[in-house]
């Protein structure tokens, strides 16, 4: 702050220049003695307060003799006194601010020395309240899982932690700081046009509010919020600047403490995972052996002990060749390939066992790689001796067992080439025309979108004990009551599957933003068809053929999008259930349609489900 003097007091001093300062004054100007300077200025002011009345008295006395003081003398001293008062106030404010920044620096040093998150948060919040004179303060941090800002600490001016009932903040101000990354200060939120109408401000009678972001390494990790519900104009630009400076340091300390906490959690999880891995390896039926790059055995689980008949103590930390010579002999070529080109292998072998019959083993050898370097080998052993014996027994008894019993044992593999005629229900659905999907979709995205519709349709069929026969484009064919899924209730299950499909495909279309008006059309028909394997002796496919299949397809093609049409044969098989009030279904007026490939019209019904 400069002092203004009358012009006659500046004669001889060039405009814009100041009189030279002695060394002590220069030290004061650099801020090394602001407190002493304020005291000196105060004493000087008191001296001027005594001098000015004396000058007034002298002026009156001189006037009686026709004399006067030099022009501007009294007014000059009065101006000096006024400016000196301003200077004293400024020096005191600077001294108080300096003390606050010193406290800030000390707290920041303490914060960076601690890695306890709660300790750092509490100390940071107490410092904010002390520096700003706030009544309460909160720190909100971003949750790692949800990304939302959540309360992490809440403190009051007595350095006490508030419970959740005391979490009273202006959400509008907090959300504005989060959205913009800019601090907010208001001297009276009740009168501030930005916030006066906000519910929290009115309801909780919030007044002085200060909120600044916590930014660490360029990322907002949280916000600091402080307020006072009693005092107006408690916070100004000085408090805002102070809190912003503190927040920059506190954010780093908080982030460091959080990183340390995450590291501790990660180490604990890694320890738990290691223990879990040990338990898993000890409990699984497959034998597991691992070695390092020199084929020294580093892991050997309980199942490997049982399969190979050698204890862990006899093989661990020994070379595979010395500890398990027979196993090493059969795997040596595969081991060489692993270290040469990183190529794993699967070996089926009958391995001689000391004191018992040979074991039929399946060995899977896999390289253990670290940064594209093979650092060892994992060998997984499965003893399939019992499976081989069971298959051999089954092959023998098939000569004697009745065909029906073999069907139950072998399922699909027991069906020979050819077919069987039986009563079934057939469901055809076009999920969504492929050309109705967005033209700008990448081929991979288009395929993924179609697969989502096909998956939803297939799951609806499976839940009603149906069998998915095939996928064609965006269409699905489902079969009910085949040899593989016998079901006397096949017609009703097919109708229920179709209704489920309608609901789920509509919902899926809405979620994906696809044309709702082109979502799925379904046809269901029940009749006799031929079912069985087609193909040759090396490759077979189970399917159904005949007029029943063709008619179901024609019904689907005739249906409009969003419509389920069933044939009269299907309707007759489940009529009582459809018309039962408890099912909340009803049939629209039936009609006859002309389908391609048939001369006579076909009677069809549309099934509707009450919403």
- Indicate whether 497 and 428 sit together in one domain: yes
> Would you state the pLDDT for residue 435?
85
DSSP 207-255: -EEEEEEEEETTEEEEEEEEEESS-SS---HHHHHHHHHHHHHHHHHHH
Which residues, other chains included, contact 257 with Cβ-Cβ below 8 Å and sequence gap of 6+?
114, 115, 116, 117, 120
- Residue 559's pLDDT is what? 93
Instruction: Report if residue 404 sits inside a domain.
Output: no
- pLDDT for the residue 40: 78
Tokens for 289, please give them.
């052996």
Reported confidence tier of residue 236, pLDDT bands at 50, 70, 90 = confident
C-alpha distances (whole Å) from 129 to each of 136, 496, 541 are 7, 65, 77
Contact 409, 396 (CB under 8 A): no
Residue 453 sits in the same domain as residue 340: no
Query: Given this model, what pLDDT does residue 567 score?
Result: 94
Please indicate, yes or no, whether residues 203 and 90 belong to a single structural domain of this protein. Answer: no
CB 297 within 8 A of CB 325: no
pLDDT digits (tens, 9 = 90+) for 61-110: 888 877 887 887 778 777 887 887 777 777 776 666 666 666 666 655 55
**Which pLDDT value is given to residue 551?**
93
Confidence tier at 359 by pLDDT (50, 70, 90): confident
> Is 312 within the bounds of a domain?
yes
Q: Which of 179-183, 277-281, 296-300 has the lowest mean pLDDT?
A: 277-281
Please name the residue ranges forming H helices in 114-228: 117-132, 171-180, 199-203
457 has pLDDT over 80: yes
In this structure, is residue 479 part of a structural domain? yes
Residue 112 belongs to a domain: no
- Could you give the CA distance from residue 53 to residue 51 in angstroms, rounded to a whole number? 6
pLDDT category at 307 given cuts 50, 70, 90 is confident
Q: Which CATH number belongs to the domain containing residue 480 in this structure?
A: 3.30.70.1230
Residue 313 sits in a domain whose CATH number is 3.30.450.20
481 shares its domain with 369: no
Inter-residue contact 87 to 44 (CB < 8 Å): no
Domain identity same for 460 and 590: yes
pLDDT band at 280 (very low <50, low <70, confident <90, very high): low
Count of C-beta atoms within a 10 Å radius of residue 131: 19
What b/e readout covers 531-560, taking b as 16+ CB neighbours within 10 angstroms? Answer: bbbeeeeeebebbbebebbbbbbbbbebbe
Using only C-alpha atoms, the chain has a radius of gyration, in whole angstroms, of 44
Q: Per-residue pLDDT for 296 more than 90? A: yes
- Clarify whether residues 305 and 363 are in a common domain: yes
Structural domain contains residue 407: no
Q: What is the pLDDT of residues 392-432, one digit of tens each?
A: 655 554 443 334 334 444 555 555 555 789 999 999 999 99
- The full 3-state SS of 465-478, as one line of letters, equals CCEEEEEECCEEEE
Rounded Cα distance between 81 and 76, Å, is 9
Q: What is the pLDDT of residues 577-599, one digit of tens each?
A: 888 867 778 888 678 888 787 77
543 and 469 inside one domain: yes
Q: What number is the average pLDDT over the span 299-315?
A: 88
Tell me whether residue 607 is exposed, middle or buried, using C-beta atoms within 10 angstroms of its C-beta: 0 to 12, 13 to 18, 19 or more: buried
Report the run of H or E that residue 558 belongs to, with start and end. Answer: helix 547-558
CA–CA distance, 447 with 303 (Å, rounded to integer): 43
With 50 as the cut, is the pLDDT of residue 384 above it?
yes
Query: Does residue 118 form part of some domain?
Result: no
Convert the pLDDT of each residue in 151-188 to its tens digit.
888 888 777 888 776 677 778 888 888 888 898 888 77
- The parent domain of residue 22 ranges over 7-99
Q: Which residue has the tokens 């249906």?
A: 559
* pLDDT of residue 461 exceeding 90: yes
Residue 572 has pLDDT above 60, yes or no: yes
Residue 278 confidence (pLDDT) above 90 = no
Q: Which residue has the higher pLDDT, 342 or 386?
A: 342
What does pLDDT average to over the chain?
78
Residue 502 has pLDDT above 90, yes or no: yes
Q: What is the mean pLDDT of residues 282-298?
A: 85
Region 199-208: mean pLDDT is 68
> Which of 194, 191, 192 lies closest to 180 in space, CA to CA?
194
Are 436 and 570 in a shared domain? yes
Whether 601 maps to a domain, the answer reads yes
| Shared-domain flag, residues 246 and 311 | no
| Angle between helix 117-132 and helix 73-113 axes, rounded to 10 deg | 170
Question: What's the chain's length in residues?
Answer: 611
Q: Which residues contact 464 (CB under 8 A, 6 or more apart)?
A: 480, 493, 494, 496, 497, 500
The answer to whether residue 522 scores a pLDDT higher than 80 is yes
End-to-end CA distance of the chain: 80
Q: Is 580 exposed, middle or buried (0-12, 13-18, 19+ CB in 10 A)?
A: exposed
| Cβ atoms within 10 Å of 327's Cβ, excluding its own | 22
pLDDT at 357 over 50: yes
- Nearest by Cα to 292 from 369, 238, 357, 236: 369
Task: For 23-40, write each residue's pLDDT tens digit.
Answer: 444 444 444 455 577 677
> What's the structural domain count of the chain?
4
Sign of CA dihedral 410, 416, 421, 426: positive
Lowest mean pLDDT segment, chosen from 295-299, 338-342, 558-562: 338-342
Are residue 172 and residue 291 in the same domain, yes or no? no
* Most confident region among 171-175, 351-355, 483-487, 598-602 by mean pLDDT: 483-487
What confidence category does residue 438 fall into, taking pLDDT thresholds of 50, 70 and 90? confident
Helix-strand-coil percent breakdown of the chain, rounded to 5? Answer: 50, 25, 25
Q: Which of the pair, 203 or 5, is modelled with greater confidence?
A: 203
Half-sphere CA count of 50, side-chain side, radius 13 A:
5
Could you give the angle at the alpha carbon of 229 between the alpha carbons of 228 and 231, nearest 5°?
A: 70
Give the CATH number of the domain where residue 182 resides.
3.30.450.40
Predicted confidence at residue 399, as pLDDT, reads 45
Q: Once rounded to an integer, what is the mean pLDDT over residues 309-322?
A: 90
Domain assignment of residue 276, yes or no = no
Q: What is the mean pLDDT of residues 538-553?
A: 84
> So what's the pLDDT on residue 158?
79
Q: Which of 51, 84, 99 is the last residue of a domain?
A: 99
Quick one: what percent of the chain has pLDDT higher than 90?
A: 21
Residue with tokens 């019993």: 405
- Cβ neighbours of residue 415 under 8 Å, at least 6 residues apart? 407, 483, 532, 533, 542
Same domain, 135 and 71: no
Closest CA to 340 of 320, 365, 305, 361: 365
Position 97 scores a pLDDT of: 63
**Model confidence band, residue 525 (pLDDT cutoffs 50, 70, 90):** very high
| Residue 455 shares a structural domain with residue 595 | yes
Residue 287 tokens, joined: 């034998």
């Amino acid at each position: 702050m400069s002092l203004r003097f009358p012009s006659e007091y500046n004669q001889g001093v060039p405009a814009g220049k100041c009189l030279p300062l002695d060394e002590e004054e220069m030290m004061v100007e650099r801020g090394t003695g602001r407190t002493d300077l304020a005291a000196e200025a105060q004493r000087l002011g008191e001296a001027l307060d005594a001098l000015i009345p004396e000058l007034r008295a002298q002026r009156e006395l001189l006037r009686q003799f026709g004399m006067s003081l030099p022009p501007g003398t009294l007014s000059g001293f009065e101006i000096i006194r006024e400016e000196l008062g301003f200077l004293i106030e400024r020096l005191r404010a600077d001294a108080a601010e300096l003390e606050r920044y010193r406290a800030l620096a000390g707290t920041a040093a303490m914060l960076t020395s601690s890695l306890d998150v709660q300790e750092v948060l509490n100390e940071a919040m107490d410092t904010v309240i002390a520096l700003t004179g706030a009544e309460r303060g909160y720190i909100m941090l971003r949750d790692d899982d949800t990304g939302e800002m959540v309360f992490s600490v809440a403190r009051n001016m007595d350095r006490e932690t508030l419970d959740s009932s005391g979490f009273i903040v202006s959400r509008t101000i907090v959300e504005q700081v989060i959205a913009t990354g800019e601090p907010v200060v208001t001297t009276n939120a009740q009168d501030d046009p930005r916030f006066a109408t906000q519910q929290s401000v009115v309801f909780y009678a919030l007044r002085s509010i200060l909120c600044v972001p916590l930014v660490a390494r360029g990322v907002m990790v949280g916000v600091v919020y402080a307020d006072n519900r009693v005092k107006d104009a408690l916070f100004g630009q000085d408090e805002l600047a102070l809190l912003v400076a503190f927040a920059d340091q506190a954010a780093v300390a908080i982030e460091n403490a959080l990183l340390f906490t995450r590291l501790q959690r990660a180490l604990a999880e890694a320890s738990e995972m290691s223990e879990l891995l040990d338990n898993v390896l000890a409990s699984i039926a497959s034998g597991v052996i691992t070695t390092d790059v020199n084929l020294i055995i580093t892991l050997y689980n309980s199942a490997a002990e049982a399969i190979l008949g050698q204890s862990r103590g006899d093989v661990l930390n020994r070379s595979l060749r010395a500890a398990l010579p027979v196993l090493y002999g059969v795997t040596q070529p595969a081991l060489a390939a692993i270290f040469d080109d990183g190529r794993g292998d699967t070996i089926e072998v009958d391995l001689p066992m000391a004191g018992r019959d040979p074991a039929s083993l399946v060995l899977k050898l896999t390289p253990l790689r670290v940064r594209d370097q093979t650092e060892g080998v994992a060998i997984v052993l499965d003893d399939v001796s019992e499976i081989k014996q069971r298959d051999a027994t089954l092959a023998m008894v098939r000569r004697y067992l009745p065909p029906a019993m073999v069907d139950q044992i072998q399922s699909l593999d027991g069906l020979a080439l050819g077919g069987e005629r039986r009563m079934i229900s057939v469901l055809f659905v076009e999920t969504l025309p492929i050309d109705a999907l967005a033209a700008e979709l990448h081929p991979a995205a288009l395929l993924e979108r179609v697969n989502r519709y096909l998956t939803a349709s297939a799951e609806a069929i499976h839940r009603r004990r149906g069998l998915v026969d095939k996928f064609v484009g965006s269409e699905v064919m489902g079969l009910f009551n085949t040899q593989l899924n016998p079901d006397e209730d096949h017609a009703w299950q097919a109708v229920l599957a179709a209704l489920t499909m309608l609901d789920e495909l509509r919902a899926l279309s809405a979620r994906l933003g696809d044309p709702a008006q082109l979502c799925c059309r379904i046809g269901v028909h029940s009749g006799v068809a031929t079912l069985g394997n087609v193909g040759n002796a090396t490759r077979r496919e189970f399917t159904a053929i005949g007029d029943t299949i063709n008619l179901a397809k024609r019904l689907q093609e005739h249906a409009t999008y969003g419509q389920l049409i069933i044939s009269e044969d299907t309707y007759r098989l489940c009529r009582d259930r459809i018309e039962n009030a408890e099912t909340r279904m009803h049939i629209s007026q039936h009609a006859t349609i002309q389908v391609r490939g048939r001369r006579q019209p076909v009677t069809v019904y549309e099934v509707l489900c009450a919403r």
